[in-house]
């Protein structure tokens, strides 16, 4: 049967199991919106296209499914760029459908024309301009396949308006064949065997776990491996939740704001097992002096991640889950008990570092941000999805909230996008209507996408926003304090932010405020009991900083402590 | 170190932009690039000449492989290979230098393909050394214009360099 381009797209999305479309309409995509009237998708109208992508991204991170976005041409498309780049840097599967002016006008600087395929080429895993309706269903099929397979990432499909209204026979391809794209999942058996040998020879091993473990759903295998071998685990920001944060072998996060023991353990280790991590500069500090005594095993699905920043001794290209599974199978034939016992001394050494210095703060005077975060953990017992913004709020959350399960932290790690967290929380709430979703925010970041309060209210999404309001762009202020002799240029928001309680109320949400430490728990309890969007303005100590801190470009063991 | 990389890519619009963008975005260097369709009209072949240490070249090759429309990447440095480039060069001549220009062209098996009042246009094909050599000789006589195709290359022997 013949179908229009719009109908074909809807059929394709159905076949892909799409449930939700985060969208914002406009002229170029109206034919498709018209068809959406009868389509079985939840349609979430956001208030800014950037937020549509962040919401789809949050939905994807929380659920593991592909997030879907639909926007119009020109400004609609360009507004998605930050969202796309955010998803790209963190390897999140999102499909972005953009309207485009009709094919016969492309290149004419027509009204609302933007070369979005050109603009997003370096920040998508792949992108397409559909030039012929006969290619439409194949392209959509490929887009979803590429987004979710291998190292996941965003894929954009640009849809000229004439393609949406033309008709052709519809047939959904049964399978995808892209001759230039064949992700490797299995891992080389010889390399895996060599990894086992290296591991069993090590005396001071550390597992360095990144977001790849979460995207490959490899937590179970990771925990099993750690239980077998007793190897301590440190996680990157993206890896938090891959291994239970309160496990005795969790060292917490490493890197610029990592724990003392995690950074020391890496620097003193004789074997570093990198799992789905990419040796980002915020993790390694000064690269030449990173883990100087360690042999490095690197397991990653993306060959370009391997030996990009750090020379690796034993690379294994493959999916973390499968490779870990095979390592475990091989280890089952070995005397892992003796090995585990042999690591006693190493574990004690790490305990010693913990005794020398651990994360700390004192709840005196004004509300401390760490206190709020700890209370959120206590009250929810970790049964919550947390999203963060960027800055101090993000680092304190990473440090003080022990994430217990994968996909419970949504945060922009690679790009570091302020304004990510709130729309991402909305996306996660849509994926899990009955779970508690809390966005830990800053007074700066919240204002980058606060318009999404309207979306939360419209769809009655009971998202909670906990603003750690320090009256400044805290992380910028911290750098100015440390590295620019306290010249606080353009980093103060004191007295110039809106009243967040009134702002929430203006949108029809609930606004609460806590100014005293005693109010923190009761305010959180109240917020958590309300089945509506709630914004909580925690007026916190404006001088609080994130410690420890390794200044950019310094070796990991050069930590500023307090 | 100089590397000659041959790729097979999908013959579709935008591929060249993806590859050029990859090089510029990641700060890799491109010395020359040539591209054209193969016998299979759905596939194009590209020859890229680039420079970098081993780590950089390893990244170049991995990153190229990561692009979805790139089907195959071969670093010819691992093989014996032949390379050629064609140039068209317009050389100024005077009654005194005309013969010399002709002689140089002849030595390098170049062909005069256009003659002006005060110029010869010469076509020459060869590897890097030969092209450098003839340009070195012509330069003092006055080169008015030069266009180069960029290098194309192929492994020696009976096997195809990019066998799929
Ligand atoms: C879109 C964007 N612009 C600028 C920055 C640079 N930046 C990083 S942290 C930060 C301050 C964040 O302030 P706030 O949201 O109040 O959080 P705090 O650090 O105070 O917790 C800024 C401006 C960024 N990460 N993202």
pLDDT per residue over A44-63, tens digit each?
Answer: 999 999 999 999 999 999 99
Contacting residues of B for A121, CB less than 8 Å apart:
14, 17-18, 21
Q: Find, in chain B, the residue whose alpha carbon is nearest to that of A184.
A: B66
Give the Cα separation of A305 and A317 in Å (integer). 9
Contact (CB<8Å) A307/B58: yes
> What's the confidence (pLDDT) of residue A562?
77
> What's the confidence (pLDDT) of residue B78?
83
Residue linked to tokens 């003659």: B115
pLDDT at A466 over 70: yes
What confidence tier does B160 reach under pLDDT thresholds 50, 70, 90? confident
Give the Cα separation of B154 and A84 in Å (integer). 39
Give the Cα separation of A345 and A204 in Å (integer). 9
Angstrom CA distances, A43 to A143, A455, A457, stand at 20, 11, 15
**A335 Cβ partners below 8 Å, 6+ apart?**
none
Contacting residues of B for A117, CB less than 8 Å apart:
14
Ligand 1 atom with minimal separation from the A417 CA:
26
pLDDT at A403 over 70: yes
* Interval A364-373 mean pLDDT: 98
Q: Average pLDDT, whole number, for chain B?
A: 95
pLDDT per residue over B51-82, tens digit each?
Answer: 999 999 999 999 999 999 999 999 998 889 99
Is A235 among the catalytic positions? Answer: no
* Interval A424-444 mean pLDDT: 98
State if residue A418 touches ligand 1 by the CB under 6 angstroms criterion: yes
pLDDT per residue over A467-483, tens digit each?
Answer: 999 999 999 999 999 99
Contacting residues of A for B10, CB less than 8 Å apart:
179-180
State if residue A474 touches ligand 1 by the CB under 6 angstroms criterion: yes
CA distance A236 to chain B (A): 23
> What's the confidence (pLDDT) of residue A123?
98
pLDDT at B162 over 80: no
> What's the confidence (pLDDT) of residue A345?
98
Beta bridge partner(s), residue A436: none
Q: Average pLDDT, whole number, for chain A?
A: 97
Give the count of beta carbons closer than 10 Å to the beta carbon of residue B37.
Answer: 11
Give the Cα separation of A277 and A209 in Å (integer). 6
pLDDT at B114 over 80: yes
State if residue A476 touches ligand 1 by the CB under 6 angstroms criterion: yes
Helix (H, G, I), strand (E, B) or coil at A100: strand
Structure tokens at B47: 């020859």
Out of A121, A129, A307, name the one closest to residue B18 (CB): A121
pLDDT at A286 over 80: yes
A23 C-alpha to ligand 1 centroid (Å) = 26
Burial class, A528, CB count within 10 angstroms (exposed 0-12 / middle 13-18 / buried 19+): middle
What confidence tier does A377 reach under pLDDT thresholds 50, 70, 90? very high
CA proximity to A540, closest of A480, A494, A507: A494
pLDDT at B163 over 80: no
- Answer whether B55 touches A (CB < 8 Å): yes
Helix (H, G, I), strand (E, B) or coil at A301: coil
* Interval A110-128 mean pLDDT: 98
CB A91 within 8 A of CB A211: yes
State if residue A390 touches ligand 1 by the CB under 6 angstroms criterion: yes
> What's the confidence (pLDDT) of residue B164?
60
The percent of residues above 90 in pLDDT, for chain B, comes to 92
Is A49 among the catalytic positions? Answer: yes
Q: How wide is the angle at C-alpha A193 spanned by C-alphas A189 and A197, nearest 5°?
A: 165
CB A206 within 8 A of CB A232: yes
Residue linked to tokens 């790490």: A350
* Interval A516-544 mean pLDDT: 98
* Interval A240-264 mean pLDDT: 98
Residue linked to tokens 């208030």: A47
* Interval A518-542 mean pLDDT: 98
Contacting residues of B for A160, CB less than 8 Å apart:
none
pLDDT at A329 over 80: yes
Give the Cα separation of A307 and A299 in Å (integer). 11
Is A256 among the catalytic positions? Answer: no
* Interval A541-546 mean pLDDT: 98
> Does the CA dihedral A504-A506-A507-A509 come out positive or negative?
positive
pLDDT at A355 over 70: yes
State if residue A83 touches ligand 1 by the CB under 6 angstroms criterion: no
A391 C-alpha to ligand 1 centroid (Å) = 5
Give the Cα separation of B27 and A8 in Å (integer). 41
> What's the confidence (pLDDT) of residue B159?
82
The string of DSSP letters for chain B reads -EEEEEEEEE--TTHHHHHHHHHHHTT---SEEEEEE-SSTTEEEEEEEEE--HHHHHHHHHHHHHSTTEEEEEEGGGS-EEEEEEEEEEEE--TTTHHHHHHHHHHTT-EEEEE-SSEEEEEEEE-HHHHHHHHHHHGGG-EEEEEE---EEEESSSS-TT--
- Answer whether A118 touches B (CB < 8 Å): yes
Is A366 among the catalytic positions? Answer: no
């Amino acid at each position: 049967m013949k179908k229009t381009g719009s109908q074909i797209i809807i059929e394709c999305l159905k076949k892909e199991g799409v449930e939700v479309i985060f969208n914002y309409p406009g002229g170029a995509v109206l034919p498709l919106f018209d068809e959406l009237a009868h389509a079985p998708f939840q349609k979430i109208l956001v208030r800014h296209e950037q937020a549509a992508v962040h919401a789809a991204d949050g939905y994807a991170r929380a659920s593991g499914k592909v997030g879907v976005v639909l926007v119009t041409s020109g400004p609609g498309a360009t507004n998605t760029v930050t969202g796309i780049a955010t998803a790209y840097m963190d390897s999140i599967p999102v499909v972005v459908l953009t309207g485009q002016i009709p094919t016969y006008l492309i290149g004419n600087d027509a009204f609302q024309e933007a070369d979005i395929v050109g603009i997003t080429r370096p920040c998508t895993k792949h992108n397409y301009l559909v030039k012929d309706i006969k290619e439409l269903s194949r392209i959509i099929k490929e887009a979803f396949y590429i987004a979710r397979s291998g190292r996941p990432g965003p894929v954009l499909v640009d849809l000229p308006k004439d393609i949406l209204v033309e008709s052709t026979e519809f047939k959904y391809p049964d399978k995808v064949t892209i001759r230039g794209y064949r992700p490797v999942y299995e891992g080389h058996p010889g390399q895996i065997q060599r990894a086992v040998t290296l591991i069993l020879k090590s005396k001071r091993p550390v597992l360095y776990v990144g977001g790849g473990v979460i995207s490959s759903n490899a937590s179970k295998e990771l925990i099993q491996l750690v239980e077998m071998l007793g190897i301590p685990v440190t996680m990157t920001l993206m890896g938090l939740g891959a291994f239970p944060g309160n496990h005795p072998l969790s060292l917490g996060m490493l890197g610029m704001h990592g724990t003392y023991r995690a950074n020391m353990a890496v620097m003193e280790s004789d074997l570093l097992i990198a799992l789905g991590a990419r040796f980002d500069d915020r993790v390694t500090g000064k690269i030449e002096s990173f883990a100087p005594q360690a042999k490095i095993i690197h397991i990653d699905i993306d060959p370009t991640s391997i030996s990009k920043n750090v020379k690796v001794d034993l690379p294994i290209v493959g999916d973390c889950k499968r490779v870990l599974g095979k390592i475990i199978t091989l280890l089952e034939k070995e005397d892992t008990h003796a090995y585990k016992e042999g690591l006693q001394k190493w574990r004690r050494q790490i305990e010693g570092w913990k005794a020398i210095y651990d994360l700390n703060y004192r709840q005196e005077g004004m509300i401390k941000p760490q206190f709020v975060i700890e209370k959120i953990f206590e009250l929810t017992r970790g049964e919550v999805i947390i999203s963060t913004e960027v800055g101090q709020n993000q680092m304190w959350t990473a440090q003080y909230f022990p994430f217990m399960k994968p996909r419970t932290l949504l945060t922009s790690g690679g790009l570091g996008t302020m304004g990510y967290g709130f729309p991402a929380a909305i996306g996660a709430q849509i994926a899990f209507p009955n779970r508690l979703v809390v966005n830990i925010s800053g007074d700066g970041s919240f204002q980058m996408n606060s318009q999404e309060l309207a979306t939360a209210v419209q769809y009655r999404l009971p998202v909670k926003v906990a603003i750690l309001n320090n009256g400044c762009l805290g992380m910028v202020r911290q750098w100015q304090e440390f590295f620019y002799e306290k010249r606080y240029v353009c980093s103060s928001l004191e007295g110039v932010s809106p009243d967040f309680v009134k702002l929430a109320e203006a949108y029809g949400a609930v606004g609460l405020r806590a100014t005293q430490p005693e109010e923190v728990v009761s305010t959180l309890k109240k917020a958590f009991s309300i089945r509506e969007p709630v914004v909580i303005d925690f007026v916190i100590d404006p001088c609080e900083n994130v410690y420890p801190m390794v200044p950019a470009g310094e070796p990991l063991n050069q930590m500023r402590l307090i | 170190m100089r590397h000659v990389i041959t790729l097979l890519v999908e013959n579709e619009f935008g591929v060249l932009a993806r590859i050029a963008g990859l090089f510029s975005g990641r700060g890799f260097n491109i010395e020359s690039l040539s591209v054209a369709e193969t016998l299979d009209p759905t596939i194009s072949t590209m020859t890229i000449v680039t420079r970098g240490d081993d780590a950089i070249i390893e990244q170049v090759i991995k990153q190229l492989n990561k692009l979805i429309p790139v089907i195959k990447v071969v670093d010819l440095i691992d093989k014996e290979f032949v390379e050629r480039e064609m140039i068209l060069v317009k050389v100024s001549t005077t009654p005194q230098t005309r013969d010399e220009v002709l002689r140089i062209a002849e030595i390098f098996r170049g062909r005069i393909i256009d003659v002006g009042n005060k110029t010869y246009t010469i076509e020459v094909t060869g590897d890097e050394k030969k092209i450098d050599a003839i340009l070195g000789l012509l330069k003092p006589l006055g080169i008015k214009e030069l266009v180069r195709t960029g290098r194309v290359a192929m492994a020696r022997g009976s096997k195809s360099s990019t066998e799929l």
